[in-house]
Amino acid sequence: MYQTILYEKKDGIGLIKINRPHIYNALSKEVLRELLNAVNELEQDSEVKVFIITGSGEKAFVSGADINELQNLTPAEAVNQMYLGQQVFSRIEQSPKPSIAAVNGYALGGGCELAMACDIRIAARNAKFGQPEINLGNIPGWGGTQRLPRLVGTAKAKELILTGDMITGEEAVAIGLCNHAVDLEVLMDKAFEMAKKIARRGPLSVAYAKKAVHFSQEMSVEAGMVMEAFSVGLCVSTEDQTEGVNAFLEKRKPVFEGK
């Protein structure tokens, strides 16, 4: 069904692998379109509660955009290519289902931007993050100038973008770009452990919480509080919230059904 990615699901977890290891999982237009289709597919699948994105092989998560597609673009074509990547990454970011980036190697340019679009980032200790577009006489175009400052602060984002320097997974954790850095051998175990923990929570409350946190970056604290309060009101109206309270009182594990 897919030519450039691998998609499977297991125990309520969707797994998307960018599958172009021969060119370090570079993102072409076809990859972006298939990635979008995979996200649409898992969103329609009630069995999938959380999804993980990673790269095939041990060298790269995603090394960036496919340079072969970018080098001869007209200005208008370049803008459209940026819009396509932005659309796909925003779709991941705004999905009601949580996403985890399991960064197994190079996450450069578009790869760093893809990881930042995910809700949680877990990296191999020796993974490499960076926005090296400046070295090619260009700038990040798939959200790097917008998401990176929100994650690590303006000063550090400017440093990374203006120098094009790379940092390790451990350094990424230290500046707030990643949640965890682990040995490569246990990376996927850690990602699935996190995914399974989230999958056991109520899918509706997870979706509402994700949206509230996401929009907290775009609105005033006062407006965010109003959204938060109404989200709590929505949760109170669900069967999942009733189940969660009853399970707590009865000292048992809740069984959430997304209702």
Q: Which residues carry out catalysis?
A: 113, 133
Give the number of other CB atoms < 10 A from CB of residue 14.
Answer: 24
> With contact defined as beta carbons under 8 Å apart, do 125 and 167 qualify?
no
